[in-house]
Structures are given as C-alpha cells and as structure tokens.
Amino acid sequence: MTGAPRIEVLDDAAACSDAAAHAIAQALVAAVDRHGRADWATTGGSTPVGIYQVLASAPHRDEVPWQQVHVWWGDDRYVPRDHPLSNVLPLDQVLLSASARAGLSGSGADAADIELGLEPGLWLPPAHVHAPQMTRAIADGSGLDAAVAAYDAELRADGPPVGEAGVPAFDVVLLGIGPDGHVLSVFPGSPLLDDTEAWVAAVPAPTHIEPHVPRLSLTPRILAAAVSVVVVVHGAGKAAILASVLGPERDERRWPAQLARRENATWFLDRAAAAELPTLPG
C-alpha cells in the first residue's frame, strides 16, 4: 500500500516552480534541523530551471542552510557536464551560476545579470555537489559503467542513510515526468522495475524518446525510502500522459511515474497539465 499523494493544481508553470521551491526549501531546512545535513536528489529536463531560479532568490537563498545541503541526481545523460543535454548543467548555470563564480564570461548572460544588479548564484561546498562523473568517463574512455560504479561508490561512502528496501533515504527527491510516463530514467518496461539489488544502473539509449543518449539512473526504490518526493508537471503537452499516470488504471510497468503516487509525495500540476484529469485521484 503506497498511500495517496497530495496533489495541488496551480495556475501556471511559475506557480508550480514557486510551490515546488518552497516544498524543497522546507524539506532541506527540516533535514538540517533533524540531522545536520540535507540530501536532495534533483532531476533534469526543463522542470528544474524555474525551481532553481526561485531557490536562488530571496527568501530561500537566505533561509536554507545551503552549506549543509548535498545535491545528487536521480538520473543523468552520458554527456559532458557542460553539454546542453546534461542534467547537471541547469544546476551549474541557474542555481550556482558556476561560470560567473569562476570568473568566466560564459554566454555573457551571467555577466549581464551582475551588471543588472541581480544576485549571483548560491555557493555550495564543491564536495557536496555529487554530479555523476560523466565528463571524466567520456574523457578517459572508461565508459558509462565506470561512471555508474563511481556514483554508486560515492553514494555508499557519502550518501544519505540507508532506508526502506536497503536504499539511500533522500530528504527530498525532485521529479519531472517524461512524455511516456517515465520518472528518473526508468522507462516503461525498464528492467530497473524488477531489480531489487542495484542502487544505480546504466540505461541504454532509449529509442522511443529523445534524447537518444544512454543514461545513468538511480533505482526507483528510492521513492519509497525518501522522506519526501516533489513531482512537478506543467504544460498542455503533459495533459494526456498525466491523465494516464493519475488515472484509475494502475500499471507501473507501463507508467513508471505511478511509483510516485505515494503518501510521501506532493504533486504540483498547472491547470494546463491537469486539464484531462477526470477527478483528482487518491
């Protein structure tokens, strides 16, 4: 029995980003209060960008004890960290403004932001930003399996405590939902749905969905172990898949995002994405 998630339907994508940023900030503050650090597994795609902008602004930039926060990724693509497809790049660019901090001009946007008087990004201890080591694996030719092994080892050495089902219990997991109903890089029919051992796995390039690049993914068992899960879905393009994922038929093999229909989860939807939901499900 996984229980029912909390579902909030908000006006638009900006409102979803505000609400999700607030939920993440609350979870991080509560975790630091409880045990002196917070472990956040974030996501890729376009969903986190607006959330990072809100988190990097007042009040969250000042209220969250960022130096105690550890960031991990639920999944990443097998591309270098500064590649447009990287799931790490949005965090580097938007939450941390890494290029501005390094004194680089980057695209020019960061420098213009500073001239406009906008605040630079947050500072987290570099050792707390646990990005999968894709750049190194590509550069030295060791390959995706080496990146998977390194990420697994890093989680075991410096990750959150092990919780339910023998997997790390993150304080907060942020998820977007793919157009096929995937979460993390757990695609429909994925062998990860049956794997009861691995924490991290290599995922071959999907052929049914872009981008067609191999991935690294955490096991979906982290969703049950997490203190809290935040799911964000916005835009009319997600309305049809959301109607299936939150619909009456349960089939997690077909729609892995249903694994996030659990009582430790809050789903933030905008009206456009929620448009085809007949009734809000339990």
Chain residues binding ligand 6PG by CB under 6 A are 43-47, 75, 77, 87, 176-178, 182, 185
In the bound complex, what is the minimum distance in angstroms from residue 11's beta carbon to ligand 6PG?
18
Nearer to ligand 6PG, 32 or 184 (CB): 184
3-state secondary structure of 203: strand
What's the min distance (Å) between Cβ of 223 and ligand 6PG? 13
Rounded to a whole number of angstroms, the minimum distance from the CB of residue 193 to ligand 6PG is: 15
CA angle 54–235–91, rounded 5-degree value = 35
DSSP 249-282: ---TTT-GGGGG-STTEEEEEEHHHHTT-SS---
* Nearer residue to ligand 6PG within complex by CB, 93 or 185: 185
CB of 255 to ligand 6PG, least distance (A): 13
User: What region, left, alpha or beta, does residue 204 occupy, with left being phi > 0 and alpha being psi -120 to 50 degrees?
Assistant: beta
Rounded CA separation 68/81 (Å): 23
Least separation in angstroms between residue 75's CB and ligand 6PG is: 5
Report the alpha-carbon distance of residue 193 to residue 189 in Å, rounded: 7
By beta-carbon proximity to ligand 6PG, the closer residue of 45 and 106 is 45
Q: Compare residues 34 and 208 and give the one whose CB is closer to ligand 6PG.
A: 208
- Based on CB atoms, which residue is closest to ligand 6PG, 44 or 121? 44
Q: How far is the CB of 13 from ligand 6PG (least distance, A)?
A: 10
Interatomic CA distance for residues 21 and 67, integer angstroms? 17
DSSP 78-143: SS-TTSTT-SSHHIIIIIS-HHHHTT--TTSHHHHHHHTT--------GGGB----HHHHHHSS--
Tokens of 59: 């009040």
Shortest distance, CB of residue 118 to ligand 6PG, whole angstroms? 24
CB nearer to ligand 6PG: pick between 74 and 160: 74
Nearest residue to ligand 6PG, by Cβ distance, number only: 45
Q: How many CB atoms lie within 10 A of CB 231?
A: 25
Between CA 30 and CA 227 the distance in angstroms is: 10
Of residues 77 and 221, the one with the C-beta less far from ligand 6PG: 77
